[in-house]
Structure 1
Amino acid sequence: MQIEQLIAGELGARPEQVNAAIQLLDEGASVPFIARYRKEVTGALDDGQLRTLEQRLGYLRELEDRRHVVLDSIREQGKLDAVLERQILDAETKNRLEDLYLPFRPKRRTRAQKAREAGLEPLADQLLAAKDQRTPEQQAGAFINPEAGIETPAQALEGARQILIERLSESADLLDSLRTWLWQQGDLRVSLVKGKENDGQKFRDYFDYSERCARIPSHRALAILRGNQEGVLRYKLSAPEGRETEGPQRIMRHWRLPANAWIDETARLCWSQKLLPGIESDLVRQLRVAAEEEAIRVFARNLRDLLLAAPAGPRPTLGLDPGLRTGVKAAVVDATGKLLAHETIYPHAPHKRWDQGLAALAKLCRRHGVQLIAIGNGTASRETEQLARELASREPELGLVPVVVSEAGASVYSASELAAAEFPDLDVTIRGAVSIARRLQDPLAELVKIEPKSIGVGQYQHDVDQAALAAMLGTVVEDCVNHVGVDLNTASAELMSQVAGLSRAVAANIVDYRNGQGAFTNRRQLLKVPRLGPKAFEQCAGFLRIRNGEQPLDNSAVHPEAYALVERMAVQLGCSLAELIGDPERLARLDLSALRSDRFGDYTLTDIVRELEKPGRDPRPEFRTAQFDDSVTTLADLKAGQWLEGAVTNVTNFGAFVDIGVHQDGLVHISELADRFVKDPHELVSTGQVVRVRVLSVDSDRKRIALSMKSENDKPQPPRVRQPEAREGTMAAQLKAAGLRKR
């Protein structure tokens, strides 16, 4: 089957759609560009379909290259017949292809090979045919060859057996059948390594554990594999209980072997010594790959939620990086994120300079017109939040709004070359405070500076394939940046390097050009940037915004290639471009059929009209935060039955972790997410979402908090997700009063 047809079937698309997308990708077009600006060409394949297509295309092309190598190798050996060639051409996976190649792959000198060299293959064939009425020992007597090291019938029989074991184990169809059987029916039995009980307490759930391979969820699989890697757990793949002899029986049936004691034992040894160990390795690898792929998908979804979290907006912000002995690092940034001032205060133990700290922060806030206070959620976060709230109550005229934000990855950024280049004279801890302030203003713009896996919203992210993880997270960052769009005159080089068509070097050139020539006033000026040619311009232009420029369409997602079309829209309605933009009623009167062409069809026309209705709109949600209970700051303050407000920090396949302000996230198990059955936690919650939870239990020794979002005792008061509407006394109301609602 052609690659295009295979992918089309998997995507539920037409082959011509897939073929068009492949052609665009091969020409160097990016997925965000194709998804947004080439819908007519691809039949409106979305970015998710295009990412899957891109990934599968790479795999299938690698498979095709390997297929040619295998065919050439077998052909050179003179062993390629029509049946085998058809099987190889029909192989749809790398595993199937390698199984077919197994009998012909060059091998090291095995015991079977040595036996063949000793002339024992005819004996193996003779025993397999089972036509000789003599005993195996009697038949083997004719093959004694001291010069070849075969001095006894037993040695001859052992050599013949090794030949048969190798031969019987090299059937692609048998391997596939056995793998499928053991995957679906076999058990992975896990046990504790003797003497490791004290060292491996975090794995105690798996000290005596057994589950069907196919049913093991990704988080359990990765936990078992980590425990094995750390020398705490061992595992063994077993046939279903009561069916331990089925493996050898399947070998007998597949090869239609004669039933006699010697052949039976050969099949048993083929199973236990050759096939089962290899299949166990294959299936554990399959389990790992499936678990890693799922973990990477979970990480990607959480990262997307975090990157697309609501920005507080361009407001002067005070960032606080909490600490005890080393003090609280404070940094003020202006509306654009530029550092204005910084200071270290010591309000907490052992220094306890509370009033001095308040005075210092008040001075900073008054001097620089601070409106938001961003507090990192690490050590001493709750104490620092109390300090910020007291500051806000003492200085009501400033309208300060304290907000706790995740500081995950801030320390990584602060010690990076990027941070050192921007702030060469600043201590790394002050750089961290700057990052905390900026990520409240615009999470996406700040988080792109941090290696995605350091942001900490994954599940066993350090155990998965790091190259695959980096590739997936890289596409998530790219898709998010292009989904939101980038301000050409304020964006950092790091942010612009994620825009379609722009490399890091070209993004740096844009910043250098901007610094030297001044702000961009129209998108066409991009063509003056060194190394930014027509192809790169085509890819990036629609994702870069210019506020208050010469061309109002430059502040929209309308691509420059469609500007003439928009001018025709204005002419059709008898109005100016300025009058057309932002006027839904006028746009509704357009006769789109008169504007339709091969290049600009219904998909593109609809997108353009939608963009013109609200040009440059930010697709991210409204900014809201959780309000922690001031009386709950440690695990000891938690009591079963308490209702608390918190923020979702991580979503996994088994539930959601929620920050409730006690320095330890609680877990809402998937069974506690709702009063109904929930198949996928992502259906209900996402990273950053504000939720109300009920405390079920607290395990202080293991630092585990069990939470629930179910209604209590079927009372008509289910926990609720906070609604966007501001209510008196809520953080949303405070933001509204301070004029900080997102425009």
Structure 2
Amino acid sequence: MTSSPAVKSVTARLAEELAVREAQVAATVRLLDEGATVPFIARYRKEVTGSLDDGQLRTLEERLGYLRELDARRAAVLASIQDQGKLTDELRAALAAADTKARVEDIYLPYKPKRRTKAQIAREAGLEPLADRLLADPTLVPEDAAAEFLGEDVADAAAALEGARHILIERAAEDAELVGAVRAKFWTDGSLRTAPASDEIAKTPAAQKFRDYFEFSEPLEKMPSHRVLAVMRGEKEQVLTLTLDGGDEDAHHVMVARTLGVDLTAGAAATAWLSTTVKLAWRVKLMISAAVDARIRLKQRAEEDAVAVFARNLKDLLLAAPAGTRTTLGLDPGFRTGVKVAVVDATGKVVDTCAIFPHQPQRRWDEAKATLGALVARHGVELIAIGNGTASRETEALARELITDITASGAKPPVQAMVSEAGASVYSASAYAAHELPSLDVTLRGAVSIARRLQDPLAELVKIEPKSIGVGQYQHDITPGTLARSLDAVVEDAVNAVGVDLNTASVPLLARVSGVTDSLAEAIVAHRESTGPFRNRKALLDVARLGPKAFEQCAGFLRIRDGDDPLDRSGVHPESYPVVRRILDRSGISLAELIGDEKTLRTMRPADFADDRFGVPTVNDILAELAKPGRDPRPAFSTATFATGVEKVADLEVGMVLEGVVTNVAAFGAFVDVGVHQDGLVHVSAMSDRYVSDPHEVVRSGQVVKVKVLEVDVDRQRIGLTLRLNDTPQRKGPAGDKGPRPKGRVERPRSNRGKEAGRRETGAASGSMAQALRDAGFGR
């Protein structure tokens, strides 16, 4: 017996995929298995991993799980085939070489226990020799050859030939090489076609958002994620039917014939029978399985792309510039129900609440302004945060008038800013909000959240389930587990990148810190409330159930302002404090003098302080932290100034240059809030004078930008924008373009200017600007 190739180790495969050394992977896997988190490994174990970054570590962690599952399944399949007494060196080698779960299942298919098939029944009736004979000698007349196989279970020649055909069809359908080849060809040559579910449904109002897919076809390999998810939603809503076409059927027939050993051009007596068998093997078995596989692959790829877009937007939103620890007045706008008002102090504590009614139908403008003025004076308000929902521009006008009056009086006016309300209603109605703000009505909790979002977006947004924040693309069509895992990782990375104030952080924020579970976060807060603020990081070990392992994972990410040890407010891990002491001994100055002294720190050579445990990468990080202890990686705070008098879509004019805020970035472009209750679209083709493959190269969620208005559709509440301010808009807009309509357009729902999240789920095809805007729903 010849020896079979061994399966490559998981670490070897991961090293190849990541293009890093196997030793780096092995060390990382060991840390993960010991319970270390990705943020901890990325920040504090650079020497061990060879400085793998958090992106590489996240990929490694995900692929590690997949490859381990693959190996477990491979082992189970090997054991099953071996138990059947059918395991050969060839099979063992094929399974060892299988690099995907799908490939393992293809190889296992002929050996997989299953219900009795027609082919098995035919074999039991002794018809396999007939099938083999017709394959081997196509000059035989099928009916004559079948006559020899009649008996109690085979009534006539037709039944014998049908049984032989089932055997050959199953043989083709279970050939791993053929199944893999057909699957690959179907994907590269195939296309997806859509049509209305019926003529009656096509005429309904609900179907109109999918009308561009009533006659639609696109290659599988090139179909972008937003279109895939759009047509699948149309199918789910029973508006569209989807058909997957594998391309040239004759080419597939040739592949099947080659596998079975059939010459389709022979012209012999059995050629017609064999040809029909080949076509049926393709039509009833291989085509169906390939189409199912292509559909799964299409959905998986679309989900991966959509999750990646959501993750990028979420990261940008979480890491948006904080306005800082300043007393803030939050306004949750509304017309009939009034504007809800909340004042929070510099720590986010609620100090005052009320409701005002400046807008229709009450129109108590002066009274509302006086109430706000009194709150500003009483509490020393420095910031005014206005939710960007219904009545936001009208409420902004009220705040602007108030600021003008304060300025005229000689007092220092507060700064106003528009704040996204996405997910605010989810927070307000949550159990945590009820626990955090038990004395406040649900509507007032929204105003508190808006104020706190301006102070520190990250600290407030972690209280909301990530998918409810509303910066995704078709997030409601994505497998929940897939989305949740990715978004949770983004939140964890963002929280640990910024660091958390141990003495002010909420339970949801603490629970996102490396090594801190929900129960530990609650225990930390309970300890803080019962014994007072933490004076040093070591005191964490006094928290119930917080042991050395959890302390190791979390301590470096928790900050203590004005504590016993200045290092506790930095990102230096307590385990590295001896390195700092060594630096102090050698420099001859005190810690208080060294912290913030960038000039002195720049003169130090990291290698001078490295040792066997803490290498140069860690010492570099320590010196950087000492230069700017507890530095915040987020950008400086800035606000957009919306144009006065431009408050609704009808106020817009083609050619206007406006300031706005990017609210969402998708694969096809970016949505920008210019203050008219409806986001405008900047298509990827209008983002730069150079080619842009990914809109994230140019903009990010929360960024303040200047845009020019290209197209306004008041009836459909749609706005086309460009970042290229030198563009000359066509005065008739894209509607005047007489070119062919694009093949596909993704549903364009209304913007989520209200409180419910997750409604910016739009897509567009690429192409000329006119076509691109039509793709997104403009110029109909």
- Common fold: TM-score over 0.5: yes
Q: Structure 1 residue 309: deviation in Å?
A: 0.2
1:563 paired residue among 555, 577, 589: 577
Deviations 1:248-280 (A, max 9, x none): 111112332243111111111111111111111
Q: Structure 1 residue 236: deviation in Å?
A: 1.6
Name the residue aligned to 2:120.
Answer: 113
1:712 is paired with a residue whose SS is: coil
Aligned CA distance change for structure 1 residues 701 and 182 (closer, same or farther; 3 Å): farther
Aligned CA distance change for structure 1 residues 713 and 697 (closer, same or farther; 3 Å): closer
Q: Distance in 1 between matches of 2:540 and 2:20?
A: 36
Q: Distance in 2 between matches of 1:587 and 1:695?
A: 50
Name the residue aligned to 2:502.
Answer: 488
2:464 paired residue among 431, 447, 450: 450
Q: Distance in 2 between matches of 1:177 and 1:68?
A: 24
Name the residue aligned to 1:154.
Answer: 158
Q: Distance in 1 between matches of 2:165 and 2:681?
A: 56
Deviations 1:302-337 (A, max 9, x none): 000000000000111111111111111111111111
Q: Distance in 1 between matches of 2:372 and 2:363?
A: 15
Residues 129 and 258 in structure 1, CA contact (< 8 A), matched pair in contact too? no
Matched, 1:471 2:476: no
Matched, 1:193 2:197: yes
Aligned CA distance change for structure 1 residues 362 and 439 (closer, same or farther; 3 Å): same
2:439 paired residue among 421, 425, 432: 425
Identity across aligned pairs (percent)? 58
Residues 246 and 287 in structure 2, CA contact (< 8 A), matched pair in contact too? no
Residues 572 and 590 in structure 1, CA contact (< 8 A), matched pair in contact too? no
2:630 is paired with a residue whose SS is: coil
Q: Structure 1 residue 591: deviation in Å?
A: 4.0
Deviations 1:416-447 (A, max 9, x none): 00001112232111111110110100000000
Alignment size in residue pairs: 710
Residues 384 and 415 in structure 2, CA contact (< 8 A), matched pair in contact too? yes
Matched, 1:440 2:454: yes
Name the residue aligned to 1:732.
Answer: none
Name the residue aligned to 2:170.
Answer: 166
Residues 128 and 258 in structure 1, CA contact (< 8 A), matched pair in contact too? no
Name the residue aligned to 1:291.
Answer: 302
Q: Distance in 2 between matches of 1:314 and 1:395?
A: 22
Matched, 1:303 2:314: yes
Q: Distance in 1 between matches of 2:158 and 2:707?
A: 72
Deviations 1:392-413 (A, max 9, x none): 1122224121111100000000
Higher deviation after alignment, 252-261 or 426-435: 252-261
Matched, 1:251 2:263: no
Q: Distance in 2 between matches of 1:713 and 1:329?
A: 41
Name the residue aligned to 2:759.
Answer: none
Name the residue aligned to 1:180.
Answer: 184
Higher deviation after alignment, 4-13 or 519-528: 4-13
Q: Distance in 1 between matches of 2:605 and 2:309?
A: 44
Aligned CA distance change for structure 1 residues 429 and 398 (closer, same or farther; 3 Å): farther
Q: Distance in 1 between matches of 2:232 and 2:288?
A: 17
1:267 paired residue among 268, 275, 278: 278
1:543 paired residue among 557, 570, 580: 557
Aligned CA distance change for structure 1 residues 713 and 305 (closer, same or farther; 3 Å): closer
Q: Structure 1 residue 704: deviation in Å?
A: 2.4
Residues 655 and 728 in structure 2, CA contact (< 8 A), matched pair in contact too? no
1:157 is paired with a residue whose SS is: helix
Residues 457 and 649 in structure 1, CA contact (< 8 A), matched pair in contact too? yes
Residues 172 and 259 in structure 2, CA contact (< 8 A), matched pair in contact too? no
Q: Distance in 1 between matches of 2:576 and 2:727?
A: 58
Q: Distance in 2 between matches of 1:258 and 1:183?
A: 26
1:502 is paired with a residue whose SS is: coil
Q: Structure 1 residue 714: deviation in Å?
A: 7.7
Q: Distance in 1 between matches of 2:370 and 2:446?
A: 22
Q: Distance in 2 between matches of 1:232 and 1:701?
A: 24
The one-letter code sitting in structure 1 at the alignment partner of 2:216 is Y
Name the residue aligned to 1:135.
Answer: 141
Name the residue aligned to 1:344.
Answer: 355
Residues 366 and 398 in structure 1, CA contact (< 8 A), matched pair in contact too? no
Deviations 1:184-236 (A, max 9, x none): 12121222222222331111222111111110011111111111111111122
Residues 369 and 398 in structure 1, CA contact (< 8 A), matched pair in contact too? no
Q: Structure 1 residue 713: deviation in Å?
A: 4.4
2:218 is paired with a residue whose SS is: strand
Name the residue aligned to 1:655.
Answer: 669
Matched, 1:414 2:428: yes
Residues 187 and 211 in structure 1, CA contact (< 8 A), matched pair in contact too? yes
Aligned CA distance change for structure 1 residues 79 and 412 (closer, same or farther; 3 Å): same
Query: Which runs of structure 1 show a deviation greater than 6 angstroms over 4 or more consecutive aligned residues?
Result: none
1:62 paired residue among 60, 69, 89: 69
Residues 370 and 398 in structure 1, CA contact (< 8 A), matched pair in contact too? no
Of structures 1 and 2, the one scoring higher in RCO (CA 8 A, sep 6+) is 2
1:68 is paired with a residue whose SS is: helix
1:7 is paired with a residue whose SS is: helix
2:390 paired residue among 362, 379, 388: 379
Residues 246 and 291 in structure 2, CA contact (< 8 A), matched pair in contact too? no
Kindly report the root-mean-square deviation, in angstroms, between the aligned alpha carbons of the 2 structures.
Answer: 1.4
Name the residue aligned to 1:631.
Answer: 645
Deviations 1:339-374 (A, max 9, x none): 111111111111111112111111222111111111
2:626 is paired with a residue whose SS is: helix
Aligned CA distance change for structure 1 residues 208 and 701 (closer, same or farther; 3 Å): farther
The one-letter code sitting in structure 2 at the alignment partner of 1:228 is E
2:406 paired residue among 391, 395, 405: 395
Matched, 1:2 2:9: yes
In the TM superposition, 1:567-582 aligns within 5 A as: 567-582=581-596
Name the residue aligned to 1:329.
Answer: 340
1:426 is paired with a residue whose SS is: coil
Q: Structure 1 residue 103: deviation in Å?
A: 0.9
2:493 is paired with a residue whose SS is: helix
The one-letter code sitting in structure 1 at the alignment partner of 2:281 is C
TM-score by length of 2: 0.89
The one-letter code sitting in structure 1 at the alignment partner of 2:259 is H
2:625 paired residue among 606, 611, 614: 611
Deviations 1:613-647 (A, max 9, x none): 11111110000111111221111112222211111
Matched, 1:369 2:355: no
Higher deviation after alignment, 38-47 or 161-170: 161-170
Higher deviation after alignment, 114-123 or 536-545: 114-123
Q: Structure 1 residue 120: deviation in Å?
A: 2.3
The runs of 5 or more residues in structure 2 that have no matched partner are 1-7, 265-270, 730-780
TM-score by length of 1: 0.94
Aligned CA distance change for structure 1 residues 714 and 325 (closer, same or farther; 3 Å): closer
Higher deviation after alignment, 4-13 or 469-478: 4-13
Name the residue aligned to 2:244.
Answer: 237
The runs of 5 or more residues in structure 1 that have no matched partner are 716-743
Q: Distance in 2 between matches of 1:355 and 1:143?
A: 100
The one-letter code sitting in structure 1 at the alignment partner of 2:10 is I
Residues 520 and 546 in structure 2, CA contact (< 8 A), matched pair in contact too? yes
Name the residue aligned to 2:3.
Answer: none
Deviations 1:559-587 (A, max 9, x none): 11111111111111111111111111111
Name the residue aligned to 1:12.
Answer: 19
In the TM superposition, 1:12-51 aligns within 5 A as: 12-51=19-58
1:562 is paired with a residue whose SS is: helix
Q: Distance in 2 between matches of 1:166 and 1:318?
A: 71
Q: Structure 1 residue 134: deviation in Å?
A: 3.5
Q: Structure 1 residue 79: deviation in Å?
A: 1.1
Deviations 1:446-490 (A, max 9, x none): 000000000000000010111011111111111000000001111
Q: Distance in 1 between matches of 2:135 and 2:355?
A: 83
The one-letter code sitting in structure 2 at the alignment partner of 1:409 is G
Residues 309 and 620 in structure 1, CA contact (< 8 A), matched pair in contact too? yes
2:110 is paired with a residue whose SS is: helix
Name the residue aligned to 1:736.
Answer: none
Matched, 1:675 2:689: yes
Residues 32 and 500 in structure 1, CA contact (< 8 A), matched pair in contact too? yes
Residues 424 and 450 in structure 2, CA contact (< 8 A), matched pair in contact too? yes
2:476 is paired with a residue whose SS is: coil
